[in-house]
Structure 1
Amino acid sequence: MITTSPTDFLEAYAALAPLPEAAATARAAFLVAPAEFALAEESARDNRYMDMNLTVNPLKALAQHGALAQALRADVPVITFPGNPATPDAVFPNNVFATAPGRLIVGRMRHPVRQREAERSDIRAFFGEVLGYDEIDLSGCDGLVAELTGSLIIDRARGVGYCGLSERCDMAGAQAMHKAFDLRLTYCFELAETEYHTNVVLTLLASRAVIIAADGFRDPAAAQAIAHAYGDRAIWLTPAQKQAFAGNAITLSDDRVWMSACAAAALTDEQREALSGYGFAIGAVGLGEIEKAGGSLRCCVGEIY
């Protein structure tokens, strides 16, 4: 079922029992290292978190990325694929490649500079030939845009998707992802005009709580409905905290949420206490150089289910 109604979503959600064998968090993660890291003008057209006037230090970005991979290994095995100088801002693989059990999904990116990332044969071969995953390739599908887990936040324990519609994902893309991820329910809503991806305004914490920025949604009722689905176990972000990427976080285990050092520093003591009450410690990694490209920690992490 795909719905755009908050009322219909809550009714359908209430009728869903958790999937008995579904894991709420990934069993491993993969990253793509920066190579000659630079900002892409195409991406900046609809990513308001980017500032093309900033200069970047490629070596610092590489060092921060390596520290991220090392930190995440505390929770799951981490694989880092080498970067490609032909795609110098390709450090956000979760928009292009994503998995469900036994399946690799390849997204349909909006901008040509990102579409080139989907052509990587080594990543496809790793999942297909090494892990034996079936491949669902949306990258060549005309008439849709589907930037995977940038646009679609998934409750893996319930098979529920939260899809923010924007320039980076249209309704046709949402329908294709609903099928590719074999979801039981997808709630589609429009993001605010200034937003490009759902994963900067919404984080799902191991299928039991959320971090959410209400101003990232065109209709505040959509944000309220999502929070209500999780028993109002929600960390509500201010616009400044959202801008610091506090909404771009990820859980790779049942007891820790990872975010950038900038994001973690933006949280209040009350928000930290709430996360602790929900059962989550905070893991933080400095990613200031990478964040100049308009994404943060969650964007860097591809999940392997």
Structure 2
Amino acid sequence: MTTTVPCRVATRRRFLLCPPAYFAVEYAINPWMDPSRPVDADAALRQWRTLRDTLRELGHRVETLQPLPRLPDMVFAANGASVVDGRVLVARFRHPERAPEAAAHRSWFRQAGYRPTVAQLPNEGQGDFLPVGDLVLAGSGLRTSPAAHREAEAALGRRVVSLQLTDPRFYHLDTALAVLSEDQIMYYPPAFTPESDRTLRALFPRAILATDRDADVLGLNAISDGRHVLLTDAAEGLAEQLRADGFVPVGVHLPELLKGGGGPKCCVLELHPAPGGHR
């Protein structure tokens, strides 16, 4: 029996990124971070620029958030806000080390023409809120409060599906799950409770399932435009599965930023859609 490979279509996206001008690992707020390991700041900047340039080469619009001193994790821009249908919910970080980043995001969105709402409950932006189809998949259990899911549902105007994370290595939803298209995801089942795994299998019966090897290199921290999928070049198994499902994997090399517990998606906040179409 021959299986038909779906025809995948890319759509032009708009992204917000923040250069790693002050990137360092000065504290440990996730299992990937080890302040005793040296970080090559110049290499981190080169790797980030390659990610930015790759997005542009694929036809996407890249906006830039100004980095601030003493905020080494600002490069992980995805955590600063959730943007759905032009509605913006600014993060409220759980750890005090990152808390000042929220004000920088709020200021950027205001200047860009949005009317952001600031979260009142712990919520780490697109790290834990991923739009797919007419839903928002939301992670909890490690960073974002379960109660914050209801707050986000009201602020973003979409139904939120709650998913519970269980493994500290996968501390945000976007480290354990990637949205590939309006009806397709890839994820790592052991990162979720059995109930959340069942929810995902029911919603996405054709989901791509990551192996331990690919999950262990944050292979699921990926960016998709519906056809091209940017993911770490170390996730070779996922790349093969993506090709078999009609996607075009684009490997990127970010080993320095991985020392902070982030991959391609952590560095990219997708803006859904550009100002003018938001409510």
User: Normalising to structure 1: TM-score of the pair?
Assistant: 0.79
* 1:267 pairs with 2:267: no
The percentage of aligned residue pairs carrying the same residue is 30
> Which amino acid counterpart does residue 163 of structure 2 have in structure 1?
F
Are the counterparts in 2 of residues 152 and 164 from structure 1 also a CA contact under 8 Å?
A: yes
Q: Which of 145, 154, 161 is matched with 2:122 structurally?
A: 145
Are the counterparts in 1 of residues 82 and 90 from structure 2 also a CA contact under 8 Å?
A: yes
Q: Which residue of 1 aligns with 2:3?
A: none
Q: Which of 97, 109, 119 is matched with 1:113 structurally?
A: 97
Distance between the aligned counterparts of 1:83 and 1:245, measured in 2? Answer: 24
Q: Which residue of 1 aligns with 2:275?
A: none
Are the counterparts in 2 of residues 69 and 80 from structure 1 also a CA contact under 8 Å?
A: no
1:26-68: per-residue Cα shift (whole Å, max 9, x none)?
Answer: 7300101112321141xx23x1222333110111111111111
Flag the structure with higher helix content: 1
* 1:284 pairs with 2:251: yes
Are the counterparts in 2 of residues 108 and 147 from structure 1 also a CA contact under 8 Å?
A: yes
| Aligned partner of residue 25 in structure 2, secondary structure | coil
CA spacing shift, 1:204–1:103, aligned 2, 3 Å: same
1:245-289: per-residue Cα shift (whole Å, max 9, x none)?
Answer: 1111121x2211111222xxx332xx5444224321011211111
* 1:88 pairs with 2:60: no
Alignment of 1:98-137 (within 5 A): 98-120=82-104, 123-130=105-112, 132-137=113-118
> Which amino acid counterpart does residue 254 of structure 1 have in structure 2?
G
Distance between the aligned counterparts of 1:100 and 1:193, measured in 2? Answer: 27
Aligned residues: 261
Cα shift at 1:193: 4.1
> Which amino acid counterpart does residue 90 of structure 2 have in structure 1?
V
Q: Which of 56, 60, 65 is matched with 1:76 structurally?
A: 60
Distance between the aligned counterparts of 1:181 and 1:128, measured in 2? Answer: 16
| Aligned partner of residue 282 in structure 1, secondary structure | strand
Distance between the aligned counterparts of 1:85 and 1:100, measured in 2? Answer: 29
Are the counterparts in 2 of residues 26 and 304 from structure 1 also a CA contact under 8 Å?
A: no
> Which amino acid counterpart does residue 56 of structure 1 have in structure 2?
V
User: Normalising to structure 2: TM-score of the pair?
Assistant: 0.86
Are the counterparts in 2 of residues 153 and 162 from structure 1 also a CA contact under 8 Å?
A: yes
Cα shift at 1:80: 2.2
1:54-105: per-residue Cα shift (whole Å, max 9, x none)?
Answer: 1101111111111110001114111122322221221111111232233332
Q: Which of 199, 204, 208 is matched with 1:235 structurally?
A: 208
Aligned CA-pair RMSD: 2.0
Q: Which residue of 2 aligns with 1:210?
A: 185
Q: Which runs of 5+ in 2 are unaligned?
A: 1-9, 273-279
Q: Which residue of 2 aligns with 1:224?
A: 198
Distance between the aligned counterparts of 1:134 and 1:25, measured in 2? Answer: 25
Cα shift at 1:145: 0.8
